[in-house]
Amino acid sequence: MNKKIKIKRAFLAAFPHTLPIFAGFCFLGMTYGIYMNVSGFPFIYPMLMSLTIFAGSMEFITVNLLLGAFHPVQALLMTLMINARHLFYGISMLDRYKGTGWKKFYLIFGLCDQTFSINCTADVPDDVDQGWFLFFITFLNHMYWFIGASLGGIFGSLIPFGTEGLDFVMTAMFIVIFLEQWIKEKNHTNSLLGLIISLLCLIVFGAENFILPAMLAILGILTLTKSRTEKEV
């Protein structure tokens, strides 16, 4: 197959999967750009940070770190704590990223919550190259965030903006992704396990600390379940 046709086919297959992210990332990215603007930073800051950091929640926190006293160790520990979940994302994607060649480096860099949700669960059509499909999912989501942050940084001072209800945008995106996956699934066992484990961890550890224990428990149980299934087969 011609390389250009292969790339175009992968792009067209990946693009519809990213539409829910497009709305959320552009809106939330603009919010981040506006926040940087009202905090006294020129537009180049959110533009470059959205390209090089690409870690939404950490980018918001970085604003306060830049405004305060310089504490590199504190910044490192905070970054590790906030993004520790990516360790589990990476482990989950080991098989998925095999054979992607040079694209693997960008796939690792661009792995955020929403990209992980899509790349981990999307069914790649048989006539579409998986490596390019995963690349375009990652690249498009990255560009949505970059465009939103850049527009917010450039036009932030000109736009009257209210932030009420803003914290629900990311939650709404995950609900859409989950429901889409639920509809596609023939067997809802894994989804139900994830919900039950998350609820139990929320009760035990509280809203501030339940994410990492929940992800660790889900990863462990799904790994055991997968191993037993493979042995039976």
Which among 42, 32, 15 is positioned nearest to 148, based on CA atoms? 32
Task: Give phi and psi for 2, each to the nearest 5.
Answer: -55, 135
Helix-then-strand count for the chain, H and E: 12, 0
Query: CB-side exposure of 89: number of CA atoms within 13 Å?
Result: 18
pLDDT tens digits for range 101-110: 999 999 999 9
Which among 79, 80, 81, 131 is positioned nearest to 106, based on CA atoms? 131
Where exactly are the structural domains of the chain? 3-165, 185-233
Dihedral (C-alpha) 130, 134, 139, 145: value to the nearest 10 degrees?
150
Which among 104, 80, 84 is positioned nearest to 94, based on CA atoms? 104
pLDDT tens digits for range 110-169: 998 889 889 888 888 888 999 999 999 999 999 999 999 999 999 877 766 555 555 565
Look at residue 41 and tell me whether its pLDDT is greater than 80.
Answer: yes
Bigger pLDDT: 195 vs 171: 195
- According to the per-residue pLDDT averaged within each range, which of 32-41, 63-72, 82-91, 219-228 is highest? 32-41
